[in-house]
Structure 1
């Protein structure tokens, strides 16, 4: 039918997509989407109120059928954020009924029960050749999706994701995970990110597997869904582990996938114990989609995100000199990527786009990583926050976090480098460990014990110089720790 939704040899009248209590067959979904496609045809860009609902799924699929770039807008976005998304994308209308009073464009309700016969011709925009002046390495073609990053500096940038990149990524993941129409995919992730939308909705539709979206990713909802393939983020899997009855109900599944943030080793091991399924971890960015993943038939290592997917190439370069680094399992460098899943650039920002590529067409991820001799990758973290230069050593924050989390009384941990006149940066840990400091125990003594514990597990120069015990770590909606919000308590 289209580049993203090919005609498949599946039962088109069987239940295909379920969101909450609403269920549609593949035919019903595509006919409802065809109604939307007719409404938006010819529009420059269309925004979608991306709540967890069947109307959202129908709206996004309808825009893709019409070849109109779609901008998913988080349902909890504030006036400033959504105003920027709508202005920057130049969206002409918003599909959905959010009740926002500050909208400067029409809001059009979408009813999944209103359907139109499918067109016989494919009117979806397909990939075209790259335009003059585009950076070497971008994926050619008009954007299917415009996904906004939560920029660390300035306003969020619109990442243009072509249909060709989405198709290539989903096909590579289907091969790595042995994902077939026989699967039932279950997740309750947001429908405005790569994980929940591209993989979790478009992936199921492209492969032909049934999708059950639980609206919220609760352990009981996951347990009741009866899936063979489950998607979650570390926060979801942590809560599943805290509900052993629900966790054990997932033992009948074929594959558990974790992404969007590193899965702490203790959670991975506990989940594997409860379900009998060591989860797969994968890595990617909005700009690259998913580029590495453990394979269903391969080794799954805690803290590692597998080898590159089909047709993806990766390399490490020295953070300061730009020289290539060996894949020796030890050298830390910037991870750079090439392949057909790369984005088409930042909307309206060709110069910023060009800066993300090397002269020979490699995308600069900005992530520090290690590559093992067998091709498995370990993501240390963002170069800006997770590669700590302390006393002449380069220390990956993720390695120190993993060591802290190995302590049986530690629940969560985040490590950053704070400015230090002597060391350049001092390794500082923020730790959630109420059992370790319970009973009125002196926090200084507990911090000393934890520092010694890390020093026994890692090189002494990697031990935290400072430990702050906190009630919780600040996280974004996808469960990633917001390290920019971490700061030592103010002393008077």
Structure 2
């Protein structure tokens, strides 16, 4: 391979050369008679060989570089091996979170036009039952037992000879994967990742967090851990349902950290809320964890504090900020939040997501719902003024390959570069840190002005009985009526209607105490706010607006 070749799969090969016997990936099996967890593991050398055989096997099937294959496999050794094997084969891997629901999953797969499936039997059964939706799918590999369809199994690919095998020659601009957004503010969109995007992601994350070869990571979100092996880091796959992080059994995360003396772990805010509460209640510590990470939504300060209390005394929890289209963008440490920014967030200043990664540029533009063709067409705002965030850098993807009509609304040209409109609103402070104030699509436009979700919700969330809340707007833009919908902590759920009304009265008084929420005259209680399944944290405010509008108490006022 020449110096211009870019492929994260080759970084695994380099890791295997430097540390062949190091543990590459570990997955949980059952428990022995004594209750001790049993694990399966591969060394970096074994993982590298496994991925080479998979790539070689795909080549024997006449799969060429650039072929689109959908990967539908449960997290574990097979998933990691297949991702790297597909990279080495030059395949464009279609990655879809099964947590988005069956109808969304099938629709996204159809829109991505896969030329084959590398998938578990159930996914192949769906493919066969819906042949009109997957007409191009002719390169199919079964991960597990093959039923009533053709094509090789993963086990057969792993038996392929490596004689004469060479990985595909790929470059930074070559397509590498299609990854779908969560669809939290519209239909999920297929984001085209190129090899250069992935390669830069590895460098940015490794260098910013000073991740060293030999570290051990317990990832609560599989995509975030894909490139551990490229950094020489051991991946310990936890025993959990990755589509429902809030429902994790915290003992399984603690067990993985303790069994392997993990130095790093990643989880959504909902996962760390569950784990940290368990640790607080039981007095459990995670003393080997020096770096915890959380992303997907703002992490509440009480979760940051609990995590700080249970990990290594000199450790920290970091909250990288980004999106499917651009990750990572910025990061902030829990120690900074607790010491400095949390107080301001409680006052309605927004959530500080920190300073940008060295390879990133950003600007704040006047809010607009119209396309912006060129970066010179934006009205850039000064520090302290809320607008829409635009970002640029080598990790920023250049286009959607499904729902392509949305490219005009999200991509802004700048010569050879492309800026991505995040769809997030907020402002930069005097230290060039971004303060997140919500999604552009969620802003509430009243006759008195614009209200932003995160600052307004922070006022209500200050009540000791409230877990989280959501600001929604009812009616036409410019004349919207602001309504706040609140969810209590489970232990504070009202026992009857009288108790509910007392709580609502307290929340209305709280709303009147801040200029940010003085317009709010209606507050509703909801048993469980609808959230995205990927992170169990992003609130589906559009659904709540529809729900609220149908309530008699709202419709009659």
Q: 2: distance between equivalents of 1:14 and 1:324? A: 49
> How do 1:369-388 and structure 2 match up within 5 A?
369-385=426-442, 387-388=443-444
Aligned to 1:126: 171
Q: State the 1:392 CA deviation.
A: 2.7
Per the alignment, do residues 311 and 409 of structure 1 end up closer, same or farther by CA in structure 2, a change over 3 Å counting? same
Q: 2: distance between equivalents of 1:394 and 1:13? A: 58
Q: 2: distance between equivalents of 1:422 and 1:172? A: 41
| Deviations 1:193-246 (CA, angstroms, capped at 9, x unpaired) | xxx31x3122x1221111111041542122122311111101101101220267
**8 Å contact from structure 2 (residues 459, 511) kept in 1:** yes
Q: State the 1:418 CA deviation.
A: 2.4
Q: State the 1:37 CA deviation.
A: 0.8
Q: 2: distance between equivalents of 1:248 and 1:124? A: 49
Identify which of 110, 118, 122 aligns with 1:87: 110
Residue 490 of structure 1 pairs with residue 515 of structure 2? no
Q: State the 1:333 CA deviation.
A: 0.6
Residue 169 of structure 1 pairs with residue 201 of structure 2? yes
> How do 1:176-325 and structure 2 match up within 5 A?
176-189=208-221, 196-197=222-223, 199-202=224-227, 204-216=228-240, 217-226=248-257, 227-244=262-279, 248-275=284-311, 277-294=315-332, 301-302=341-342, 303-320=351-368, 322-325=378-381
Aligned to 1:60: 83
**8 Å contact from structure 2 (residues 469, 484) kept in 1:** no
Per the alignment, do residues 23 and 84 of structure 1 end up closer, same or farther by CA in structure 2, a change over 3 Å counting? same
| Gap regions ≥5 residues in structure 1 | 128-140, 190-195
Q: Which moved more, 1:229-238 or 1:428-437?
A: 428-437
Q: Which has the higher helix share?
A: 2
Q: 1: distance between equivalents of 2:101 and 2:291? A: 36
Q: 2: distance between equivalents of 1:312 and 1:118? A: 42
Aligned to 2:457: 401
Identify which of 363, 376, 384 aligns with 2:420: 363
Q: State the 1:145 CA deviation.
A: 1.2
TM-score scaled by structure 2?
0.76
Residue 346 of structure 1 pairs with residue 400 of structure 2? yes
| Deviations 1:147-199 (CA, angstroms, capped at 9, x unpaired) | 1224467753221011111111221121211111132111232xxxxxx31x3
Q: Which moved more, 1:296-305 or 1:260-269?
A: 296-305
Q: State the 1:113 CA deviation.
A: 6.6
Per the alignment, do residues 178 and 295 of structure 1 end up closer, same or farther by CA in structure 2, a change over 3 Å counting? farther
2:42 counterpart SS class: strand
**8 Å contact from structure 1 (residues 410, 433) kept in 2:** yes
Per the alignment, do residues 228 and 424 of structure 1 end up closer, same or farther by CA in structure 2, a change over 3 Å counting? same
Q: Aligned-residue CA RMSD in angstroms?
A: 2.9
- For the pair shown, the structure with the greater C-alpha radius of gyration is 2
| Deviations 1:354-390 (CA, angstroms, capped at 9, x unpaired) | 44223434221111122111122122221011x2233
Aligned to 2:45: 27
Q: State the 1:255 CA deviation.
A: 1.1
Aligned to 1:147: 179
Q: 1: distance between equivalents of 2:512 and 2:302? A: 19
Q: 1: distance between equivalents of 2:446 and 2:310? A: 39
Q: 1: distance between equivalents of 2:229 and 2:335? A: 23
TM-score scaled by structure 1?
0.86
Q: State the 1:63 CA deviation.
A: 0.4
| Deviations 1:36-93 (CA, angstroms, capped at 9, x unpaired) | 2123233411111131222111111110011110012444566543433333223222
Q: 2: distance between equivalents of 1:433 and 1:214? A: 27
Per the alignment, do residues 233 and 79 of structure 1 end up closer, same or farther by CA in structure 2, a change over 3 Å counting? closer
**8 Å contact from structure 1 (residues 418, 428) kept in 2:** no
Q: 2: distance between equivalents of 1:413 and 1:258? A: 20
How many residue pairs align between the two structures? 467
Per the alignment, do residues 72 and 359 of structure 1 end up closer, same or farther by CA in structure 2, a change over 3 Å counting? closer
Q: 2: distance between equivalents of 1:272 and 1:357? A: 38
Aligned to 2:371: none
